[in-house]
Amino acid sequence: MKDTTLGLYSTHDLREAARRRLPHGLFEFMDRGNDDDVAMHHNRAALESVKLVPRVLVDVSKRSQEITLLGKKQKMPIIVAPTGSAGLAWYEGEIALARAAAAYGIPFTLASGSMTKLERVAAEAGGTLWMQFYMWPDRSLSHHLIARARDAGFEALVFTVDTPVAPGREYNLRNGFTIPFRFTRRNVTDVLMHPRWLIGTLGRYLVTTGMPRYENFPPNTQTRITALPMGRSTALNNTLTWDDVRQLRKLWPGKLIVKGIQHPRDAVLAADCGADAVVLSNHGGRVLDASGATIHALPRVVEAVKKRITVIVDSGFRRGSDVVKALALGADAVMVGRAPLHGTASAGEAGALRALQIYRDEIDRVLALIGCTSVAELGPEYVEMPR
Ligand SMILES: Cc1cc2nc3c(=O)[nH]c(=O)nc-3n(C[C@H](O)[C@H](O)[C@H](O)COP(=O)(O)O)c2cc1C
């Protein structure tokens, strides 16, 4: 029988396998935070400081981690987060990752900055698809993208609102991992020293469709990753307000999710503007290094929205126990970013499947160990917050 473990037993193993296969600059681009990586490490430290309090002598012989999220049943309480670079991690990595999510019965979120056309992901992966986007300064271009996602059958729109300006990521500058990509002696040597990625990923693009490009950007701005900076029309937008959410509510018939809120008041505003869900997120510690851990903010956000909208949380969730902690504190589901991305980077679809298998097995084990047979039974009484 085929060994589906790939010899990788935790999400930390997936990260290490990705580190070995990817050029150093690309690995840092995918793995690190911003500034001093404080928020990224704090996410982990905070999750580790929250404890679970088990109940015993409960018959846990039959367990399920199924949930109903935004009106739809799913087999696990996690969602694959949008990570713009899955298609750089592996040849057509977005399709690999989306297929893995479909196999595990969970939603996959495609990032607008991905390398594979959204229509192809829909046609070749299926499953429950969510579309993430940043609102471009020329809003009509974003609205066009949204219409494409609707026509391709994407069920939810994820509007990321936490990046009005580019984050401080000095490591990308040092590595030459900028937009446009700059060829330097350092990064060319880096790429040559990672032949598995060079041949298996970059090489496959070069002999098929050419240098990877932002396939979901409007045709006239669809630059190769090595091309000149994109024009103003598709840069980050620092003029956005809650009116944009109200307008999206009118435009988008499916589920509307606002990603990147941290303040309880913003969660309430999202509900007021007609959003169906928020993602409580500090972008995995990649945007504001002084931001707090989402597991600490979660109880306040849950209390503020009073079940008016769905609360999804992300940033730092590497273990099944982390996911269970968030669910017990009132989250409806958890998004996971780097771990499935590392899985994809290490072994394509098999690696993405392995990442989700690890979460599934760990969630299942932790539920049993704390005396719960379903997610519905979880509540704050299972959690001890740090004093
Ligand atoms: C390499 C990388 C690229 C990302 N790209 C996007 C993106 O394009 N849009 C977005 O909303 N979030 C993006 N994110 C953030 C994730 O959606 C998610 O919030 C974060 O990864 C969660 O933290 P975790 O990686 O610790 O699980 C990205 C994250 C990573 C690691």
User: What atom in ligand 1 is closest to the CA of residue 336?
Assistant: 27
Question: 31-40, 46-55, 95-104, 230-239: which range is least confident on average?
Answer: 230-239
Q: What is the pTM of this model?
A: 0.96
Query: Which residue's C-alpha comes closest to atom 8 of ligand 1?
Result: 84
Which ranges of 200-288 does DSSP label H, i.e. alpha helix?
A: 204-207, 242-251, 264-272
* pLDDT above 50 for 189: yes
Compute the distance from residue 33 Cα to the ligand 1 centre, in Å: 10
Query: What residue has token string 């298996």?
Result: 200
Compute the distance from residue 56 Cα to the ligand 1 centre, in Å: 37
Percent of the chain with pLDDT over 90: 87
263 is catalytic: no
Compute the distance from residue 283 Cα to the ligand 1 centre, in Å: 5
Closest CA to 23 of 131, 122, 171, 217: 171
Report residues whose beta carbon is within 6 angstroms of any ligand 1 atom.
30, 81-85, 111, 113, 132, 160, 259, 281, 283-284, 286, 314-317, 335-338, 341
Phi, psi dihedrals of residue 357, rounded to the nearest 5°: -65, -40
| Annotated catalytic residue within 24, 42, 283, 342 | 283
More confident residue, 182 or 160: 160
User: What atom in ligand 1 is closest to the CA of residue 315?
Assistant: 23
Element (DSSP H or E) covering residue 310: strand 310-313
| pLDDT digits 0-9 by tens, 210-229 | 999 999 998 777 666 666 44
More confident residue, 202 or 176: 202
Q: What is the DSSP letter of 213?
A: B
* pLDDT above 90 for 160: yes
pLDDT on residue 229: 46
pLDDT on residue 223: 63
For residues 315-341, give the mean pLDDT.
Answer: 98
What whole-number distance in Å separates Cα of residue 59 and Cα of residue 74?
Answer: 24
Query: Which residue's C-alpha comes closest to atom 14 of ligand 1?
Result: 83
| pLDDT digits 0-9 by tens, 252-265 | 999 999 999 999 99
What whole-number distance in Å separates Cα of residue 287 and Cα of residue 236?
Answer: 13
* pLDDT above 70 for 269: yes
pLDDT on residue 176: 82
Residues in the chain, overall count:
387
Closest CA to 344 of 333, 356, 334, 359: 356
Percent of the chain with pLDDT over 70: 96
* pLDDT above 70 for 231: no
Query: What residue has token string 């980050």?
Result: 236
Q: What is the DSSP letter of 224?
A: B
